[in-house]
Structure 1
Amino acid sequence: MIKLIAIILLAISTAGAGYFGWTQKKSSAAATEQVAELTQQVEEADKKIEATEEELAASKEKLPALMTKAQELEAVKAAFASGMVLKDLEAAYAKEKKALSTERQLGLAGVRLLTNGTKDPATVEAFQKALEMTDWKGQQKVICAAQNALAAAGEKVKVMSECQPEAGPGKGDSKTGSKGAPSDKAESKDAKGSDEKKNDKKLDKSAQGHAEAQPVHWEYEGAMGPENWGKEFPTCGRGKSQAPLSVKGPYEKVRYSLAPDYKQGQLKIVNNGHTIQVNVPNGSKIRIDGRPFELVQFHFHRPSEEHIDGKPSAMVIHLVHKNMEGELAVLAVMLREGNENPVIKTLWTHAPKNAGSEVLPDGVMFNPASLLPKELDFFHYDGSLTTPPCTEKVKFYILKTQVSISKEQISDFPFKMNARPIQPSNGRPIYSN
């Protein structure tokens, strides 16, 4: 019996030893495979590091030249940052009252680019206009400048291969565009067709453009009146969310409020050829449903552009705001004929009678809050700038309480009529708080 037990134990131990040896051999083989894989990965990583080091060395060689160009560009942008050069140039072209040449249109677009950047819809519009005016066979430089500017702004325009910049280190070759001018011209029309989408980009200083003089001359009456704006400014004719609207019920209810926090500052007033406008120093804000917007400028229309229940008021003040995302919001204060308005009297006293540069009267301070009524209940709809280029996605808030202005003050406003006609609502809701 003891012998049998010993034989069984010996068999078990022999089998165990064999199994242990087999598992050890298997583990050793797996480890060898893992080591081989890791070795291959290390070799591949070494190759990538070597390639990256080569690219880095090439980049370092080009860095001084790129830094010089960047510094030059920043210096030029700083020189144009105040916007005065752009305003003076636009005012000068507006006085000529004639269509610009292609070169002037492109030059003006370039000044807009340096002043406001590619996110300004008026910059994009100016370059698109330059493309439309261009002789495609004889002005390649103009075409290249406009196409590259539109591409930088994110517009869907195909840049001709002759116009494409050299690829940077590590970027590979640029994608080749169409070489034939006709197809590029067709593409520029596609860019023009993307006009409605331009507002999806953040706006920078476009709030300053509301009611300002544009390089292409436009008016409120005659051959250059609102019914023809769309010929020069496509969104004015094709947009589906244009302003102003006739405000009437039924209304959709909203429960938020407006909270202006305007500050006193130096009066900066300008007659831009289309209205009297006051440019507001930084610091004046309004909260709309808790969201902060900066007051950029305010200006006047006669009669009011907005109608309430089908009727206009004597005039309206448009206070134009923008937020950090570039969204625009216009607060409209309706002016009804009645008693003299002392705040308006101050503005009219210092307003230039003729179109020209901004005026800063010595020692005259002004707080935009003095323009507002006590009650801030409002109507609201989504619209557009009411002057060219008629950029859309602008939020309008029309105060229900009107402010008085005397008959004499209405007559003293230097523009007898500067109101765009009512636009189709296209089913847009109107809200009331």
Structure 2
Amino acid sequence: MRPPSYKHVADELAAAIRAGTLPAGTRLPPHRALARQRGIAVATATRVYAELAARGLVVGEPGRGTYVRHPSGYDGPEPSRALPVPRVADLSFNQPLADGQADELRRALRALSTSGDVEALLRQHPPGGRRQDRAVVATYLLERGIDAAPADVLLTGGTQQALDVVLRALTRPGDVLAADALSYPGIRLLAAAHGLDLAPVPVTPSGPDLDALDRLCRARRVRAIYTMPTVHNPLGWVLDAERRARLAAVARAAGCLVIEDGTYAFLETAAPPPLRELAPERTCYVASLSKNVATGLRFGFAVVPARHAAALTGALRTTTWGTPGLVTAVATGWIADGTVARLERARRADAAARQETAREALAGMDVTAHPASYSVWLRLEPHQRPDHVAAVLAEEGILVSTGDAFAIGPSRPRALRLALATPPPGELGPALRRLRRAVDAIPP
């Protein structure tokens, strides 16, 4: 009699989970025990659990085993946003806005409506943007320590599109992309979409484990390294000059690309020079105006080595060509007249104040955060499973992001990422205190 296939075993366990026979929180047998019980190979048992995880039914916790996931759907990379009670706070996503930004937009649109050639806003701009618009962004980037020619700046519809065109143009399916073991969730989605082998780099309190990265690059042919050296998402670190130089040296020795994400870099004014300045011949710097101006503006950019500019321009041509003329006019106008610089100053002060609120509300809990960022990484107690905690908080009207949304590789952290930017300032403290009471009340 042939042993059951992994699909058959996975289907049986999935049916038991959905029927409630295996309730949320049940610890499933270790891989070897499942293999003995079912008469299958250990490798097949591993495929069973991988299949159940892909269906969103189980979650693996390093050193503790595989557990049936809470069915609420409030955890993971695509959590439910339909709360069962009136919303108290959205701590799952950062959408910072300042008072008066709507009026800023009205003024900008009125000014555009009376400009000399308003019809130009209806014409298709070249892929990557017009030279004069690229020049505005190049001048703006000087404040971040990046000295790039306008020809090396490509305008995109946000950071995510910038990442997409870099990977589309400069990688091939099967290439190895190294990324921090905890990182921006969008890179995981893009790696899957482009068929890349995403290799996690262990993290330390002060940055990626560069010795591990070096060993990875020596053992495998890494095509690119994705990194956030300035105000990392979700851990908030800022790599010092020595670590940046080491990372650039590892990439240069391995002959691989560096993809530097500077989305949150505006929050740290004293950072060492970007990797783009240390290894300009191999670094693509991507960022946007999503967190310093508005998430809905969808205006970003990629600063690329000159030898890759044509390939990335071609990738833009085959997708969306870049940014619409109206968005580009608003964004470059705000950069040129100082509105973006003013908003960035306001964001830094606002983020620092929100971090102070979070430190007071969460005092004594295991948290990691940059002192002027919009995120807190909250590690949970051993008995507190992130999927269950997210469901408990949803009953309190609070949305959060669970740590597995940021996990690169199989390891799933027992943690929450709290986004601080969206609630009104006066509501953030009460929401965090409510969160703390709910988490503390979860029994062992």
Tell me if both proteins adopt one fold, taking TM over 0.5 as the criterion.
no
Q: Which has the higher contact order (CA 8 A, sep 6+)?
A: 2
Structure (1 or 2) with the larger CA radius of gyration: 1
- Give TM-score, length-normalised by structure 1: 0.23
